[in-house]
Structure 1
Amino acid sequence: GLFHTFEGDERPGYVASLASVTEHDGTLYVLCFSDDGPDTGPHPISQERLRAAFKPGNGWNVAAIEPDRIQTRYHDDGAPAWFATIKRM
Structure 2
Amino acid sequence: MTAQPPPEDPEVPNPWQELDDLYAVRPPWEIGRPQPAFLDLARSGVIRGRVLDVGCGTGEHALMCAGLGLDVTGIDLAATALRTAEDKAQRRGVAVRFLHHDARRLTDLGERFDTVLDSGLFHLLAPDDHPAFSGGLHEILRPGGRYFMLCFSDREPESGRRGPHRLSRHDITEAFEGALRIDAVEPATIDITLDEVGIRAWRVAMTRT
Shift of 1:39: 5.5
Query: 1: distance between equivalents of 2:132 and 2:146?
Result: 19
Give the alignment's Cα RMSD to 1 decimal.
1.7
State the SS of the aligned residue for 1:26. strand
Q: Aligned with 2:132: secondary structure?
A: helix
SS in 1 for 2:137: helix
How many residue pairs get matched? 87
Measured in 2, the distance between the counterparts of 1:16 and 1:73 equals 33
> Any gaps of 5 or more consecutive residues in structure 1?
none
Contact 1:34 1:44 in 2 (8 A): yes
**Structure with the greater alpha carbon radius of gyration:** 2
Q: Could you tell me which residue of structure 2 aligns to residue 42 of structure 1?
A: 164
Match of 1:28 among 147, 154, 158: 147
Please list the CA deviations of residues 42-63 of structure 1 after superposition, one character each: whole Å capped at 9, or x if unmatched. Answer: 21111111111222x23x1101
How far apart, CA to CA, are the structure 1 residues paired with 2:142 and 2:153? 27
Residue 129 of structure 2 is aligned to residue 10 of structure 1: yes
Matched, 1:66 2:186: yes
Alignment-mate amino acid for residue 50 of structure 1: I
CA contact (8 A) 1:54 1:86 kept: no
TM-score, normalised to structure 2's length? 0.39
8 Å contact kept, 1:34–1:45: yes
Unaligned runs of 5+ in 2: 1-117
TM-aligned CA deviation for residue 12 of structure 1: 1.1
Identical-pair percentage: 32
Q: Which has the higher helix share?
A: 2
- Distance in 2 of aligned mates of 1:43 and 1:25: 28
Q: TM-score with structure 1 length normalisation?
A: 0.85
> 1 or 2 for the larger relative contact order (CA 8 Å, sep ≥6)?
1
CA apart distance, 1:16 = 1.4
